[in-house]
Amino acid sequence: MANVRCLHKLIRLQKLLLPLNAQSSRLAPLQPRPLTFLLARSYAKDEKTSNLDDFRAREEQRERERDAADEAAAKATKKETGGGLGASGSESSGQQDDAKQAKVDAIRAKILDAALNHVPQQGWTRQAIVLGAEESGYPSVVHGMFPEGGFALVSHFNGKCNAQLMESLQQKTDGGKQEVEDPLDFLVQAVRQRLEMVTPYKSHWPQAMALIAQPQHAPTALAQVLTLVDDICYYSGDRSVDFGWYTRRVGLATIMKMTELYFLQDTSPGHAQTWDFLKNRMDEAVQLQMMLSQTEGMTHTFQRSFNSAFITARNILGLGYNRN
C-alpha cells in the first residue's frame, strides 16, 4: 500500500509539471535511466566546447592571414607607385605651392601696376585697384586678393620704386665694386632720385602717408624704409662695421622723411627748394657727426640711442643686412 501511495504522489507531481495538453494523454511508466546517460551528456558538452574553441582559433588564424596579405599588398603598391620617395614627395609638394604662390603674386603685381594709372583720379583706394583689375582683364571682385585695401597699392609702389633705385645705383657703382668719389653727394642724389618718383602722385601722397602711418601697416612700411636706407648707404661706399653703421642709417632715414614732408609743401619750379633743403640737412648731419666725434662720452651716448632704436626695429621686423 505504501508503494501505491508513493506512486500516486509522483503521478500528481508529474501532472503539475507537464503541459496542460499532456494531462489528457496516457502517462508512460517512469523508466530509470542508467548512469551512462549523465556521462554521455558531460562528454557531449565537452566535445561541443572543444569544437567552439577550434572554430574560434581557425577564424582568428584566417583573420591574421588576411591582415598579413593586405599589408603585403599595400607595401607592393607603395613600392610600384613610388610612394617611398618620402622627402622628395614633400619637396615636390612644396615646389607646387611655391609655383602657385608665384602665379598669384604675378597676378597681384599686374593688377597693381595697372591700378597705378588710376591713382591720380581715384587716389590710393580700393576703387583704383578695381579699375586696375578690370583693365587687366580680371573681374572687379578680384579686389578680394588685396585685404589691405589701398595700402597694398602704396606698398607695391614703394617696393617698385626702391627696386628701380637699387638697379640705378648698381649700374653707377658696378654692383658696389666701384668706389664713389663724393659719398655725400651720392647720398643726396640717391634720395632726390627716389623722391622724384613720387612727383606724378604728389597730390595724393598725403593719403599714402596716412595709410603708411596706420599701426597695422607699420611693419611693412618700416621694413621698406630701413632696407632702402641700408642699400643707399651700402652703394655709397659705407662698409663700416662700427657703431656708426647704425647711426648713419637712422640719420639718413630721418632726413629722407623730413625732406618728404618739405617736398609735399614745395611749390617752387622743379622743387628746387626741396633739393636745397635736402642738401642743407645732409651738411648739418656731417657737421653734427664731426662735433660729436670731438666729445667721446656724448658720442657713445648718442650712438647707443640710435643703435638701440635701429636694432629694435630690425629685430621686430626680422630684417637682415648680410651682403656677399
Look at residue 282 in the predicted model and tell me its pLDDT.
92
In which residue are the cell numbers 609638394 written? 93
Look at residue 210 in the predicted model and tell me its pLDDT.
94
pLDDT at 85 over 60: no
Burial class (CB in 10 A: 0-12, 13-18, 19+), 61: exposed
pLDDT at 324 over 50: no
CB 180 within 8 A of CB 186: yes
Q: Considering the entire predicted model, what is its pTM?
A: 0.64
pLDDT interval class at 50 (50, 70, 90): low
pLDDT interval class at 159 (50, 70, 90): very high
- For range 88-92, the mean pLDDT: 59
In which residue are the cell numbers 667721446 written? 296
Q: Give the DSSP per-residue string, 131-186.
A: HHHHHTT--GGGGGG-TTTHHHHHHHHHHHHHHHHHHHHHHHHTTTTSPPS-HHHH
* 246-249-253-255 Cα dihedral, nearest 10 degrees: 110
Look at residue 302 in the predicted model and tell me its pLDDT.
56
Can you say whether residue 112 is alpha, beta or left, with left for phi > 0 and alpha for psi between -120 and 50 degrees?
alpha
pLDDT at 10 over 70: no
pLDDT at 293 over 80: no
Q: What percent of the chain has pLDDT over 70?
A: 63
Look at residue 177 in the predicted model and tell me its pLDDT.
85
Nine cell digits for residue 45: 558538452
